[in-house]
Each structure stands twice: as C-alpha cells, then as structure tokens.
Amino acid sequence: KQEVTQIPAALSVPEGENLVLNCSFTDSAIYNLQWFRQDPGKGLTSLLLIQSSQREQTSGRLNASLDKSSGRSTLYIAASQPGDSATYLCAVNQAGTALIFGKGTTLSVSS
C-alpha cells in the first residue's frame, strides 16, 4: 500500500531564506507527483506536477525534483516571502486516478 510522508511537519524561517520541503513515498510505480499549497480554510492550489518520466519542474521561485527510484521528491522555495506561508502538500498518482496525500508541511515565513 502506497504511503506518502512529508518532513518536516512544520517549518519556520525568516524572510529571504531558501528552503527545502521533503516528500517520500514507498512505491515507486507512480504516474506523477503533485505539489499543492493550502491556505487556512481554503482549498488546494496546484503548484507543480512532475510526470513519472521527469526529474524536475520549475515555476517562478519554486523548483520540484523527483527521484522515483529512491521514492523521494523535494520542493525548493527560493527567497521565501511572508506570502509563502501556507501548508504544502505532496501527492502521488499511482493508478491514474485518485491521489494519495502526505500530511503536509506547514510553513511560516516571518518578515
């Protein structure tokens, strides 16, 4: 059974720092991996999707990598800003249907 783990559960950094969020999964047979952002009381916003054949994707200050063989993905946020404060969720699509989520990393960026 696929399990997705995110470390750390919470992270506090000062504005301007570069940071890395980690996601690991137990079964490497995946279609893709998505990173989402969730603001308090809100739904999920898709940040990046990495297909199983890809190694990384970039969008602005965000860069996500995927190492399928080791079951790991990282989300790199450059030059963090207070507006980046949110919960970041990692999810794998294993069967082309439902996503399996980690429990998220709650990020707080102080000014």
Q: Please, what is the minimum distance in Å from the beta carbon of residue 91 to another protein?
A: 8
The contact pattern for another protein, residues 3-32, with x = CB under 8 A and - = no contact, is -x--------------------------xx
Distance CA 63, CA 31 (A): 19
Site for another protein in 38-97 (CB under 8 A): 41-46, 49, 51-53, 89, 91, 93, 96-97
* Cα separation, 53 vs 30, whole angstroms: 10
Shorter beta-carbon distance to another protein: residue 102 or 109: 102
N- to C-terminal Cα distance for the chain? 41
Tokens found for residue 54: 């890809």
Characterise 43 by phi-psi region: left (phi > 0), alpha (psi -120 to 50), beta (else). Answer: beta
Contact residues for another protein (CB under 8 A)? 4, 31-32, 34, 36, 41-46, 49, 51-53, 89, 91, 93, 96-104
